[in-house]
């Protein structure tokens, strides 16, 4: 193989690797729950927060309290689990919106549903669903 051909092949390989790296950097992984256990009093859900760090959300379905923990991995001297915070979410779940940047408020959306003839329950949820 000639030197110019090897140089071209190396440049092509580098360009491909650089392209793959850019695609990976510009399209980060979406955050999603990695596990959940329901059907009991407590529901626990984990999710990646950042590299080497996961969050654990624990919901007490009887008292409607939410607790959040941060778990770190890595080297054996850096493993830890830390309590982040807790909250009674009972009243939170009664809000129609808070820090909601949607195009329509819950009330506006409910009005549009009713105008279109879509049945809406008394609590603002879709009737029959």
pLDDT of 61 reads: 92
pLDDT at 32 over 90: no
Q: Where are the domains of the chain?
A: 1-30, 31-115
- The tokens describing 88, both together, are 């009674």
- For the chain, give the percent of residues with pLDDT over 70: 64
- Taking the model in full, what pTM does it have? 0.56
How many CA atoms, within 13 angstroms, populate the side-chain half-sphere of residue 85? 3
Which residues neighbour 49 within 8 Å (Cβ) at sequence distance 6 or greater?
Answer: 55, 70
Give tens-digit pLDDT for 56-103: 999 999 999 999 999 988 777 778 899 999 999 999 988 888 999 999
- The tokens describing 57, both together, are 């959300």
Per mean pLDDT, which range of 22-26, 40-44, 66-70, 95-99 is the poorest?
A: 22-26
């Amino acid at each position: 193989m000639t030197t110019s051909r090897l140089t071209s092949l190396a440049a092509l390989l580098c360009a491909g690797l650089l392209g793959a790296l850019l695609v990976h950097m510009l399209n980060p992984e979406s955050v999603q729950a990695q596990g959940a256990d329901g059907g009991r009093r407590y529901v626990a859900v984990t999710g990646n927060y950042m590299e080497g760090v996961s969050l654990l959300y624990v919901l007490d379905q009887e008292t409607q309290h939410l607790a959040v923990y941060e778990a770190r991995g890595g080297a054996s001297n850096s493993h830890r689990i830390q309590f982040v915070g807790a909250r009674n979410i009972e009243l939170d779940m009664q809000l129609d919106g808070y820090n909601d940047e949607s195009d329509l408020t819950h009330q506006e959306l409910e009005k549009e549903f009713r105008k279109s003839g879509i049945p809406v329950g008394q609590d603002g949820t879709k009737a029959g669903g």
